[in-house]
Amino acid sequence: MTKPAEFYARDRRWHPPAYARDYKTSVTRSPQYAAISLENTVSEITGPVFGHSDIDPLNNDLLSNFAQPGQSPIGERIIVHGRVLDENARPVPNTLVEIWQANASGRYRHRKDTYLGALDPNFGGCGRTLTDAEGRYHFRTVKPGAYPWRNWINDWRPAHIHVSVFGTGFAQRLVTQMYFEGDPLIARCPIVNTIPDPEAIDRLIAPLDLNATVPLDTIAYRFDIVLRGRRSTLFENRPEGN
Amino acid sequence: MPPKLPYLKETPSQTAGPYVHIGLAPGAAGFDIYDQELGHDIAGPNARGERIRVEGLVIDGTGSPVKDVLLEVWQANANGIHAHPEQPGETEDGFRGWGRVITDFDTGEWGFDTVKPGPAPGRNGTVQAPHINLWIVARGINLGLNTRLYFSDEAEANTTDPVLNLIEWERRRATLIAQRSERDGQALYRFDIRIQSEEETVFFDI
């Protein structure tokens, strides 16, 4: 058994604030009182454990996980890969990474999406995988299209893939979005710009990774994910929980 | 310039958006893709303790139910043990203690079935009152909201709970107490979460 260790405090000036006026939905969905800061207890340090029995190994292949036999979705074939690390730069092995996205037209396979962009009969838009012993993960998919949304009347989301990660403790639970290098919509997006620090925005932009492409087959982008790190040896001589 | 510390920065959060179900609950989005969706069964069939149901709404700053929210549940078993290698003790076979819950698209109502957790150890030798950790994401929520659900029939334990007692405003503590009733002979707890109001639910920076 590893010794229980608490997570480094979250830097809430690095993350987007709850209230971000230009992202209109946040106006009524942001608490007006400050969050109460807790020192971690066992309830925050622990979190769900997933294993290979929970998922199918092909769940990470969006090019095939919804396609009819012999068929492929339409769009730019890409690999999204990277590592899940913590703030101490240690790999986070065996953790669940889930993604979801629109198709190449910018249309989601969701009963609430009524955008004109066409559904692709061979594309579902979700995938999941467990990181390996070094924290690595990868997905195959198509590059999603930009799509319009009702915020201001001419707002368009940059191409993005939603990413959900667990880590080892419930306090590390994180949902974010990955953007693509060079997309001119990134700088114009009210959701991206909820993040105050330009350096923080850069962390969500996946660079093109030609070294990871499969020549004549699939182009690649690299997206590393960093979860909260934890204290370690510094406090080990103190009684547990102190 | 002083030397730069070697730590990495946490990946910044972004909203889960309106279509979170595609990734985390595709059946609700309208298509079945996985053999098994995760998070449907929190306690499993072998868990000891009282079977309970929890129901509620997430309510926005206009008093309206939020109909596109996704909640995750994290809790100990009836003995106060979390199914995780870092807490000593055993949990029952099949007890995960984690679940994923979505709201009804028309009414915003959500609910889950589980067992009532037992008291878990707190810091410095204290004991925490039975509680369930909740994490809430949705369109318009930029960073997942963390809160805790406590139980109205644990008034004595709640009085000494170290986390509840961190809340300086005593009247705000009541926003974390789920109200017990009974339906068809089964324990039912009502827990409405108010994201933004005078009676706003307490959220934690954990």
Give the residue carrying structure tokens 């878990």.
B120
**How high is the pLDDT of residue A1?**
40
DSSP assignment letter at B165: G
Tokens, residue A186: 């990134």
CB–CB contact B23 A100 (8 Å)? yes
The answer to whether residues B10 and A85 touch, using CB atoms and an 8 Å cutoff, is no
CB–CB contact B14 A66 (8 Å)? no
Largest separation between any pair of C-alpha atoms in chain B: 68
**How high is the pLDDT of residue A239?**
42
H or E stretch at B23: helix B20-24
C-alpha A212/C-alpha A78 separation (Å) is 10
Using a CB-CB cut-off of 8 Å, the residues of chain B touching A41 are 120-123, 128, 162-163
pLDDT in tens, A30-48: 999 999 999 999 999 999 9
Using a CB-CB cut-off of 8 Å, the residues of chain B touching A177 are 14-15, 17
| Spatial CB neighbours of A208, under 8 Å, sequence gap ≥ 6 | A181, A182, A219, A220, A221
**How high is the pLDDT of residue A5?**
85
CB–CB contact A36 B204 (8 Å)? yes
The stretches of chain A forming alpha helices (DSSP H) are 42-45, 198-202
Below-50 pLDDT ranges, chain B: none
Tokens, residue B199: 């009676």
DSSP assignment letter at A177: E
pLDDT tops 60 at residue A233:
no
When the pLDDT of each residue in chain A is averaged and rounded to a whole number, the result is 94
The answer to whether residues A85 and A226 touch, using CB atoms and an 8 Å cutoff, is yes
Using a CB-CB cut-off of 8 Å, the residues of chain B touching A226 are 8-11
The answer to whether residues A219 and A77 touch, using CB atoms and an 8 Å cutoff, is yes
Q: By the CB < 8 Å criterion, does B164 face chain A? A: no
Angle of CA points B129, B133, B137, to nearest 5°: 155
Mutate to test the interface with B, among A3, A42, A192, A193 (most CBs of B within 10 A): A42
**Cα separations (Å) of B147 from A41, A171, A172, B65?**
14, 11, 14, 18
Q: By the CB < 8 Å criterion, does B123 face chain A? A: yes
Interface of B with A in 39-58 (CB under 8 A): none
| Spatial CB neighbours of A226, under 8 Å, sequence gap ≥ 6 | A84, A85, A86, A87, A203, B8, B9, B10, B11
Give the residue carrying structure tokens 């709970």.
B161
**What is this structure's pTM?**
0.96
Q: By the CB < 8 Å criterion, does B30 face chain A? A: yes
C-alpha A54/C-alpha A49 separation (Å) is 10
**How high is the pLDDT of residue A3?**
57
C-alpha A4/C-alpha B87 separation (Å) is 7
Q: By the CB < 8 Å criterion, does B184 face chain A? A: no
Q: What percent of chain B has pLDDT over 70?
A: 100
Question: Rounded mean pLDDT of A166-175?
Answer: 97
Nearest by Cα to A82 from A204, A238, A188, A183: A204
CB–CB contact B12 A15 (8 Å)? yes
3-class state of residue B86 by DSSP: coil
CB–CB contact A194 B142 (8 Å)? yes
- Please tell me the distance in Å from B46's CA to the nearest CA on chain A: 18
- Please tell me the distance in Å from A215's CA to the nearest CA on chain B: 29
H or E stretch at A97: strand A96-100
Nearest residue of chain B to residue A9 (CA atoms): B206
CB–CB contact A32 B122 (8 Å)? no
Cα-to-chain-centroid distance, residue B39:
12
pLDDT in tens, B156-177: 999 999 999 999 999 999 999 9
Of the candidates A10, A32, A41, the beta carbon closest to that of B200 is on A32
CB–CB contact A98 B24 (8 Å)? yes
CB–CB contact B133 A45 (8 Å)? no
pLDDT in tens, A77-98: 999 999 999 999 999 999 999 9
C-alpha A228/C-alpha A125 separation (Å) is 28
CB–CB contact A31 B203 (8 Å)? yes
Q: Count CA atoms closer than 13 A to A196's CA, side-chain side.
A: 11
Phi, psi torsion values for B126, nearest 5 degrees: -80, 170
Q: By the CB < 8 Å criterion, does B170 face chain A? A: no
Active site residues per annotation of A: 108, 147, 157, 160, 162
Q: By the CB < 8 Å criterion, does B141 face chain A? A: yes
